[in-house]
Amino acid sequence: MSRAPNYEFQEWWNKQREKNNLEDNSDQPNSPSFHSIDVDNAGGSGAAVSVEKDRARSARQLSWVWLLRFQQIAGSLAWISNGLVILVRTANRRIITSPRADSASSRLYRVIRVFLIVVILLLGFEMVAYFKGWHFRPPSVASADVMGMVGIVYARWIQIRADYLAPPLQSLANLCTVLFLVQTVDRIVLILGCFWIKFRRIKPIASVDYESNAENGGVDVEDYPMVLVQIPMCNEKEVYQQSIGAVCILDWPKEKMLVQVLDDSDEADTQQLIKAEVQKWQQRGIRIIYRHRLIRTGYKAGNLKSAMSCDYVKDYEFVAIFDADFQPTPDFLKKAVPYFKGNDELALVQTRWAFVNKDENLLTRLQNVNLSFHFEVEQQVNGVFINFFGFNGTAGVWRIKALEESGGWLERTTVEDMDIAVRAHLCGWKFVFLNDVKCLCELPETYEAYKKQQHRWHSGPMQLFRLCFVDILRSKVSWAKKANLIFLFFLLRKLILPFYSFTLFCIILPLTMFLPEAELPAWVVCYLPGIMSILSVLPAPRSFPFIVPYLLFENTMSVTKFNAMISGLFRFGSSYEWVVTKKLGRSSEADLVAFGKESESEPLMRSTSLHRSTSDSGIEELSKLELSKKTAKAKRNRLYRKELALAFILLTASVRSLLSAQGIHFYFLLFQGISFLVVGLDLIGEQVS
């Protein structure tokens, strides 16, 4: 019997169901838990709980993601801070371990550092004025009261710079511009003179030709003059073998030539290596002697002076000088000595340098531009038109009588080659430059070596000018030659050039950005330096792609040249310091060919001499030892304080120029600042071992 339906319970159930649905729709948290008997409603409630759990899980995951990101950021900040600390420590260590700066360099660095601080402060002040709109509407002193204290200070600053700072800066800028124009005119005249020489095919004429006469059998050994060949060197173990070997195979009668190896090395192993090399060539029948001074005074000048005091020197008529890294071709003497024949007024025959490593890196390429202009333009033009130029210290042949009458080698400066050339010129002697006779040599491949070389080359002339100025005025040469020596040779090319290049582009140009009342025209900043660079690159046409790096690098080197010029002019300590230019001993194809021909012509003598020489095994061992030492050293770059400080000055000035929308000035300052930064970080050339 079926149970009767309970209508009362059904009615209650329906009411409770409707009530529960209303609570779910209004998100009421206090729903009765015993209503779970409704299957449909239980499913809806479970979905809601699942959504709440997903939301809670998403919040926790988001928190973990942010925690991970914070951890990564903290790790990155720790890595950056640690890197900065290491960078500062490394920079401090490399600056401290750098060679100690002289008093002039330290003073200059302190001035540059103060200048950098002032420029940074001015930039901050100008940035505030820029964001306030005062660059376009400068406040006046009368209306500055409504702009607050900053407006009053900026208005006063505008008045001070316009009335007191800009006029002297503008005068200095005008002076440097005039000097720049004079230098440009001088360079144009030299270029025109070089074109005239090439157009008219003007060349020195020799009265005798040893090469052609020797082929025809028309020259007797007695017709060859006695020639003394000197190779001064000091701790140059990388290049001594090449220079001695190249000199010993010179095509000249053996009985008419004597080779002096003038070793000033203070390293015992280097002395032994050079002695062994000299003994090897002595066993081959070459007249070569080894000289070493116990008292090493006067640097290279003292070394040459000591060698010329030997008694047997009076038997020789000419002396050829080659530095340790120079490799003359076998026919060098036959091409240079004939010009003395029948020309008793000729004192010096200077030949051109050729570089075996000119394409090694950017630094050597830029040096090649400079030296190509020096040889092909300056020395060739001066040699043809006035018979005078500065002796290069090597790859030249002197008449010994001219050396003696001019006073011989003096130890008073670090440019003994220029010293003897000036004194010989004042005595009336003439010089000849041979542009088509070349002597192989090396260029410095590291910025450190190049910087030391340039310091000596620019401090020495100022020493010499101070010492010989009175002698020039008292000499018996014509007033035209005196004027050429004083105004062109010394002042314009040795003093004015480094002065205006450093002052104009490293001091005045950045200051005009912060003192806009003093203007530097765009043609001074861009067009005139461009013309100068084009003129300088003309003798080396393959270097035209490097014309912009050459312009920037020359301005960068102006700080070194200016510092050296000041040191030499005011007799600071470093101006009398001689530092041997570090070379790497790179061989050229010409050397290999020359030595190959020698080995074919004298195989028996070479083999027997090598067996008889008891020191060759020692040479090999020492060479291996030095090679192992060289490879063991790690290469690193230095930091140069003055260059880095000037880099930040120029980059700061470029930011100020950008605020004023000065296009040419901005780009010049930007790229020049980058150039200083690259050089200051020692990123040009090979690194230092």
Read off the pLDDT of residues 226-284 as tens digits, 9 standing for 90 and up: 999 999 999 888 889 999 999 999 999 999 999 999 999 988 999 999 999 999 999 99
Read off the pLDDT of residues 421-474 as tens digits, 9 standing for 90 and up: 999 999 999 999 999 999 999 999 999 999 999 999 999 999 999 999 999 999
Give the H/E segment covering residue 321. Answer: strand 318-321
pLDDT band at 605 (very low <50, low <70, confident <90, very high): very low
∠ CA 436-437-441, nearest 5°, is: 120
Phi and psi at residue 134, in whole multiples of 5°? -80, -10
Distance CA(569)–CA(462), nearest Å, equals 5
Of residues 688 and 292, more confidence is placed in: 292
Residue 659: predicted pLDDT: 85
Q: How much is the pTM?
A: 0.79
Question: How confident is the model over 208-212, as a mean pLDDT?
Answer: 79
Q: Is 483 a member of any domain?
A: yes
Of the CA atoms within 13 Å of residue 113, those in its CB half-sphere come to 8
Closest CA to 382 of 327, 422, 415: 422
Q: Is 606 a member of any domain?
A: no
Query: Active-site residue among 102, 264, 325, 682?
Result: 264
Q: Is 147 a member of any domain?
A: yes
Cβ-contact 599, 470 below 8 angstroms: no
Read off the pLDDT of residues 6-36 as tens digits, 9 standing for 90 and up: 566 566 667 766 766 655 555 444 444 444 4
Q: How many domains does the chain have?
A: 1
3-state secondary structure of 456: helix
Distance CA(639)–CA(156), nearest Å, equals 40
∠ CA 230-227-299, nearest 5°, is: 20
Active site residue 323: no
Residue 229: predicted pLDDT: 97
Question: How confident is the model over 605-614, as a mean pLDDT?
Answer: 36
Distance CA(642)–CA(640), nearest Å, equals 6
Active site residue 264: yes
Rounded-to-10 torsion of CA 625, 626, 629, 634: -150
Of the CA atoms within 13 Å of residue 196, those in its CB half-sphere come to 11
Any residues with CB less than 8 A from the CB of 460 and at least 6 apart, and which? Answer: 413, 414, 415, 418, 568, 575
Q: What is the DSSP letter of 2?
A: P
Q: Is 424 a member of any domain?
A: no
132: how many CB neighbours lie within 10 A of its CB? 15
Is the per-residue pLDDT at 84 higher than 80?
Answer: no
Closest CA to 540 of 458, 443, 682, 447: 443
**Token representation of residue 531:** 């013309």
Closest CA to 394 of 428, 353, 362, 422: 353
Residue 141: predicted pLDDT: 63
State which amino acid sits at residue 573: G
Q: Is 191 a member of any domain?
A: yes
Q: How far is CA 206 from CA 190, 334, 434, 481, in A?
A: 25, 11, 11, 25
**Token representation of residue 279:** 């003994």
Alpha helix (H) residue ranges in 201-323: 210-215, 240-248, 268-283, 299-308
Read off the pLDDT of residues 159-190 as tens digits, 9 standing for 90 and up: 899 999 999 999 999 999 999 999 999 999 99
Q: How far is CA 1 from CA 4, 8, 448, 666, in A?
A: 9, 21, 118, 108
Is the per-residue pLDDT at 396 higher than 80?
Answer: yes
Long-range contacts of 23-29 (CB under 8 A, 24+ apart): 24/48
Closest CA to 255 of 209, 279, 223: 223
Q: Is 87 a member of any domain?
A: no
**Token representation of residue 616:** 């060759």
The parent domain of residue 470 ranges over 107-202+456-595+638-688
Distance CA(36)–CA(38), nearest Å, equals 5
Distance CA(519)–CA(175), nearest Å, equals 13
Cβ-contact 312, 226 below 8 angstroms: no
Is the per-residue pLDDT at 589 higher than 50?
Answer: no
331: how many CB neighbours lie within 10 A of its CB? 14
**Token representation of residue 582:** 């570090």
3-state secondary structure of 516: coil
Q: Is 684 a member of any domain?
A: yes
Cβ-contact 299, 381 below 8 angstroms: no
| CA end-to-end distance (rounded Å), the chain | 113
Residue 129: predicted pLDDT: 84
Is the per-residue pLDDT at 401 higher than 70?
Answer: yes
Give the H/E segment covering residue 440. Answer: strand 430-441
Query: Active-site residue among 263, 323, 325, 417?
Result: 417
* CA R_g for the chain: 39
Is the per-residue pLDDT at 479 higher than 60?
Answer: yes
Positive or negative: CA dihedral 648, 652, 657, 659: positive
Distance CA(328)–CA(534), nearest Å, equals 31
Distance CA(17)–CA(41), nearest Å, equals 9
Name the least confident of 59-63, 519-523, 524-528: 59-63
Checking DSSP bridges between strand 257-263 and strand 227-233, what pairing results, if any? Answer: parallel
Q: How far is CA 43 from CA 33, 36, 37, 48, 466, in A?
A: 13, 9, 11, 9, 107
Q: How far is CA 492 from CA 289, 386, 505, 575, in A?
A: 43, 17, 18, 20
Is the per-residue pLDDT at 88 higher than 80?
Answer: no
Distance CA(45)–CA(33), nearest Å, equals 10
Alpha helix (H) residue ranges in 208-361: 210-215, 240-248, 268-283, 299-308, 332-336
Q: Is 479 a member of any domain?
A: yes
pLDDT band at 639 (very low <50, low <70, confident <90, very high): confident
Cβ-contact 383, 376 below 8 angstroms: no
Question: How confident is the model over 502-523, as a mean pLDDT?
Answer: 94
Read off the pLDDT of residues 311-328 as tens digits, 9 standing for 90 and up: 999 999 999 999 999 999
